[in-house]
């Protein structure tokens, strides 16, 4: 959210610096799936967390006005009834669950030698890079200070990833499965330093809960209702079908739109059949398509696929395509395709779908700018905010000089703790699933906000619901890239319509937006809107207030 891949540090510096941003950015990257067929029957006990009950709303850690925990984040979970020592939680209710503990295995990778990635995990006491295990333990302390775990403590075992190619992912999965945990967190995949789709898929039906990181529209094979795909089909169908290619270059802009698609294929790629089905509901037809193998790295096309970019463009041009709906990754394939198109004096419309970080400013700058002058569509990243001062749950708990901070750790522990908190005393794969379904859709389009992202597990076992703003590429606009706290400044940015208003599936507007109209667009926001500020709460007995635990050091040992 990886084959013979040149320039790992270069790739990460262009894409993963987004991970060091606020919780609002990273939380949505966590996807959760439970192997229900193997584990659902572990317990027949009822498990009532008492969500919204009088007891829950009167609990010391509940903000009765919002009915959510007193936790400095818009993702705070709903309040549940208090737990009393000595209450019965059912004991060993599932694999890896005991009366007083929940076993969680974390797959991690050593980032110390990978400078660009290491910069996403910071030891606040030194300002230097920290480790994934330490950031996991310190982030865990933050969550367990507020979230209910029903008499159990989460206990972590750390397994170091041996690589990201398919064979090592499978080997790591075998090792992790043998430890029989309740949950596995693929933290290595957060920073593209191990794990991945193969690892996560190999664990399903062996571990009750797997928390991983689908990126760029690529999801595990069992999950096919990909919202990135359906969103693109819905919006393009409503906005572009049966109209002229007005934003193309040259003679193409006077022609009726003829659609083509570029996408990564295979089991771990884009579900092209789903796209054509959904696009067809709006009268959309595909005249030509080009696909390439996903490879082990869903963020970057294999080099032998990139080498076919010229052939791909030749095929689309020969088919008379005026409008390319682009699911290609933004790191390798989109730059190659755009450069090939310019070399062939071919300037179609490029519909941005948000796949493969193609919608992030710093990544889009690597593509041919003559082509991106015709790029527009769905932007997942929220606009850059000049004065982004807002609640940081990690610093709310630890302060600004203690603990190892990682947005990625917050993102992967959020669904874990939300599921445990809302599951009630009897923790099983099934109650965990029901718990996440009970979490109210929050942020972004769900909350009519433009600086937060959508968090929802209402459709458990599927790809997380995804929101997007509408935007277009401006090569002349200079400024920081989205979500990087002022970093990545340079020429070229996506401009947002309607102040960055976000949409989810079923809510995209009909008709052509006012793309390429600066008077109707924004590049950034001066500050977080007051309506999107998180309520402030005191953090009692926390390190930030002089109490609480000491930060973790060398957790993996």
Q: What is the pLDDT of residues 36-75, one digit of tens each?
A: 334 333 444 568 999 999 999 999 999 999 999 999 999 9
User: What does the pLDDT average to over 254-266?
Assistant: 95
Q: What distances in angstroms separate CA 473 from CA 107, 233, 360, one per listed residue?
A: 37, 20, 10
pLDDT confidence tier of residue 133, bands split at 50, 70 and 90: very high
Task: Assess whether pLDDT exceeds 90 at residue 33.
Answer: no
User: What does the pLDDT average to over 406-416?
Assistant: 90
pLDDT of residue 20: 26
Instruction: Give the Cα separation of 140 and 413 in Å (integer).
Output: 7
pLDDT of residue 374: 98
User: What does the pLDDT average to over 486-496?
Assistant: 88
Per domain, the residue ranges of the chain are: 12-49+91-219+390-439, 227-384+466-531
Residues paired with residue 415 on neighbouring β-strands, in sequence order = none
pLDDT confidence tier of residue 35, bands split at 50, 70 and 90: very low
Task: Assess whether pLDDT exceeds 70 at residue 13.
Answer: no
User: What does the pLDDT average to over 334-349?
Assistant: 98
Instruction: Give the Cα separation of 490 and 226 in Å (integer).
Output: 32
pLDDT confidence tier of residue 31, bands split at 50, 70 and 90: very low
pLDDT of residue 534: 87
Helix (H) or strand (E) holding 229: helix 227-239
User: What does the pLDDT average to over 344-359?
Assistant: 96
User: What does the pLDDT average to over 399-413?
Assistant: 91
Percent of the chain with pLDDT over 70: 84
Q: Scanning the structure block, which residue is given the tokens 């050091």?
A: 553
Which residues 6+ apart lie within 8 Å of 95 measured at CB? 39, 42, 180, 181, 182, 207, 208
Q: Beta 286-293 vs 375-379: how paired, if at all?
A: unpaired
User: What does the pLDDT average to over 504-521?
Assistant: 95
Task: Assess whether pLDDT exceeds 50 at residue 449.
Answer: yes
pLDDT of residue 407: 83
Instruction: Give the Cα separation of 391 and 27 in Å (integer).
Output: 14
Alpha carbons within 13 angstroms on the beta-carbon side of residue 441 total 15
Instruction: Give the Cα separation of 552 and 239 in Å (integer).
Output: 51
pLDDT confidence tier of residue 238, bands split at 50, 70 and 90: very high
Distance of CA 64 to the CA centre of its chain: 30
The rounded mean pLDDT for the chain is: 86
Distance of CA 70 to the CA centre of its chain: 24
Best-predicted range by mean pLDDT (81-85, 383-387, 472-476, 529-533): 472-476
pLDDT of residue 197: 78
Task: Assess whether pLDDT exceeds 60 at residue 524.
Answer: yes
pLDDT of residue 391: 67
Dihedral sign computed on CA atoms, order 371, 376, 380, 382: positive
First to last CA, the chain: 27
512 neighbors 257 (Cβ within 8 angstroms): no
Helix (H) or strand (E) holding 259: strand 259-265
Task: Assess whether pLDDT exceeds 50 at residue 510.
Answer: yes
Task: Assess whether pLDDT exceeds 90 at residue 124.
Answer: yes
DSSP-derived letter for residue 419 is H
Alpha carbons within 13 angstroms on the beta-carbon side of residue 200 total 30
Whole-model pTM? 0.84
pLDDT of residue 455: 87
Best-predicted range by mean pLDDT (9-13, 24-28, 92-96, 407-411): 92-96
* Of 342, 223, 206, nearest in space to 271 by CA: 223
Task: Assess whether pLDDT exceeds 50 at residue 348.
Answer: yes
Instruction: Give the Cα separation of 313 and 342 in Å (integer).
Output: 10
DSSP string, 6-52: S-HHHHHHHHGGGGGS-HHHHGGG-EEEE-HHHHGGG--------TT
The fold of the 227-384+466-531 domain, in CATH, is Rossmann fold (3.40.50)
Task: Assess whether pLDDT exceeds 90 at residue 445.
Answer: yes
pLDDT of residue 117: 55
pLDDT confidence tier of residue 484, bands split at 50, 70 and 90: low
pLDDT per position as a tens digit, 153-182: 999 999 999 988 889 999 999 999 999 999
Phi (first) and psi of residue 435, to 5 degrees: -60, -45
232 neighbors 275 (Cβ within 8 angstroms): yes
Q: What is the dihedral of CA 415, 32, 299, 341, to 10 degrees?
A: -100
Helix (H) or strand (E) holding 303: helix 303-306
Output the six-digit token pair for 439. 């979490």
* Residue 113 CB coordination number (10 Å): 8
Task: Assess whether pLDDT exceeds 50 at residue 354.
Answer: yes
The fold of the 12-49+91-219+390-439 domain, in CATH, is Rossmann fold (3.40.50)
pLDDT of residue 6: 28
For residues 267 and 544, the model is more confident at 544
Residues paired with residue 33 on neighbouring β-strands, in sequence order = 210
Instruction: Give the Cα separation of 326 and 48 in Å (integer).
Output: 46
Percent of the chain with pLDDT over 90: 66
Instruction: Give the Cα separation of 551 and 31 in Å (integer).
Output: 27
Q: Beta 183-186 vs 101-108: how paired, if at all?
A: parallel
205 neighbors 35 (Cβ within 8 angstroms): yes
Phi (first) and psi of residue 33, to 5 degrees: -145, 140
Rg (Cα) of the chain, in Å, rounded?
23
DSSP-derived letter for residue 227 is H
Task: Assess whether pLDDT exceeds 50 at residue 351.
Answer: yes
């Amino acid at each position: 959210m990886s084959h013979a891949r040149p320039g790992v540090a270069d790739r990460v510096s262009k894409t993963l610096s987004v991970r060091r941003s606020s919780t609002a950015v990273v939380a949505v990257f966590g996807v959760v799936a439970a192997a229900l067929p193997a584990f659902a029957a572990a317990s027949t006990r009822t498990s009532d967390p008492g969500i919204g009950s009088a007891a829950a709303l009167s609990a010391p850690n509940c903000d009765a006005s919002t009915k959510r925990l007193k936790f400095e984040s818009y993702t705070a979970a709903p309040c549940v009834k208090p737990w009393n020592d000595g209450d019965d939680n059912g004991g060993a209710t599932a694999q890896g669950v005991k009366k007083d503990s929940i076993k969680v295995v974390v797959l991690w990778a050593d980032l110390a030698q990978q400078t660009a990635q290491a910069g996403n995990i910071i030891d606040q006491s030194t300002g230097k890079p920290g480790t994934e295990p330490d950031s996991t333990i310190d982030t865990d302390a933050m969550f367990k200070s507020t979230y209910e775990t029903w008499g159990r403590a989460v206990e972590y075992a750390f397994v170091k990833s041996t690589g990201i190619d398919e064979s090592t992912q499978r080997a790591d999965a075998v090792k992790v499965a043998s430890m029989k945990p309740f949950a596995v967190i693929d933290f290595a995949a957060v920073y593209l330093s191990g794990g991945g789709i193969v690892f996560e898929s190999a664990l399903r039906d062996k571990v009750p809960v797997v928390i991983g990181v689908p990126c760029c529209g690529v999801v595990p094979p069992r999950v096919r209702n990909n919202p990135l795909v359906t969103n693109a089909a819905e919006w393009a169908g409503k906005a572009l079908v049966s109209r002229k290619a007005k934003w193309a270059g040259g003679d193409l802009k006077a022609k009726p739109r003829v659609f083509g698609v570029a996408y990564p294929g295979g089991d771990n790629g884009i579900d092209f059949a789903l796209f054509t089905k959904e696009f067809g509901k709006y009268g959309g037809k595909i005249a030509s398509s080009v696909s390439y193998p996903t490879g082990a790295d869903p963020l970057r096309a294999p080099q032998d696929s990139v080498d076919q970019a010229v052939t791909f463009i030749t095929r689309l041009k020969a088919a008379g395509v005026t409008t390319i709906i682009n699911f290609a990754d933004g790191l390798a394939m989109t730059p190659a395709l755009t450069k090939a198109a310019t070399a062939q004096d071919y300037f179609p419309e490029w519909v941005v779908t948000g796949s493969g970080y193609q919608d992030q400013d710093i990544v889009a700058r690597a593509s041919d700018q003559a082509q991106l002058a015709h790029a527009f569509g769905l932007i997942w990243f929220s606009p850059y905010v000049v004065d982004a001062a807002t609640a940081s749950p990690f610093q709310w708990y630890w302060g600004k000089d203690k603990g190892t901070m990682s947005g990625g750790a917050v993102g992967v522990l959020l669904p874990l703790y939300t599921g445990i908190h809302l599951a009630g005393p009897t923790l099983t794969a099934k109650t965990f699933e029901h718990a996440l379904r009970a979490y109210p859709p929050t942020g972004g389009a769900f909350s009519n906000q433009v600086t937060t992202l959508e968090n929802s597990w209402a459709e458990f076992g599927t790809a997380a619901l995804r929101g997007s703003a509408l935007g277009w590429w401006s090569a002349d606009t200079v400024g920081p890239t989205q979500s990087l706290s002022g970093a990545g400044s340079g020429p070229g940015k996506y401009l947002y319509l309607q102040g960055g208003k976000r949409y989810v599936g079923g809510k995209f507007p009909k008709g052509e937006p006012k793309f390429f109209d600066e008077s109707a667009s924004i590049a950034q926001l001066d500050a977080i809107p007051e309506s999107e500020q998180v309520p402030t709460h005191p953090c009692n007995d926390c390190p930030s207030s002089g109490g609480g635990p000491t930060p973790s050091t060398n957790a993996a040992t």
